[in-house]
Amino acid sequence: MAMKIRLARGGSKKRPFYSIVAADSRMPRDGRFLEKLGTYAPLLPKDSEDRVKMNMERVQYWLDQGAQPTDRVQRMLEAAGVREKTERNNPNKGAPGKKAQDRAQEKADKAAAAAEAANAPAEEAPAEEAAAEE
């Protein structure tokens, strides 16, 4: 049986509240689980002690049994000091989207055209002055 430690959503509409559960990975998100290991209330402030509560003894038991935590639960375990922090790399996260890239390209093109226009009369003006002096 492929075990997961994951979040099961509860609460009302637009007021989420999650239970941290040990469940078979084939079961639905909010469906059957083997054991409730804790709670997560995302609406509480980040520094609140009640935001994440876990029974660490049982979590460690399930990890020893081979249960795999989901990404979000993995981060909670890292914050609690149970698991070592893993290096995450998302190189595309900071890259702007296609429309923003197009806008930046248009802006760069306009700036280049304006710089050329500013340089062209400056170069022609001395030539005109030289012709006027002769």
Instruction: For residues 93 and 16, give the distance between their C-alpha atoms in angstroms, rounded to a whole number.
Output: 26
Domain C-terminal end among 37, 53, 80: 80
8 and 67 housed in the same domain: yes
Q: Indicate the pTM of the whole model.
A: 0.64
31 and 61 housed in the same domain: yes
Q: Tell me: pLDDT of 123 over 90.
A: no
Instruction: Provide the phi-psi class of 66: left if phi over 0, else alpha when psi is between -120 and 50, else beta.
Output: left
62 and 24 housed in the same domain: yes
72 and 30 housed in the same domain: yes
Residues 43-92 have pLDDT tens digits of 999 888 899 999 999 999 999 999 999 989 999 998 888 888 887 777 77
Nearest to 37 by CA among 70, 12, 15: 70
Q: Tell me: pLDDT of 36 over 60.
A: yes
* Domains in the chain, number: 2
76 and 101 housed in the same domain: no
pLDDT at 24: 92
| Domain span holding position 121 | 95-134
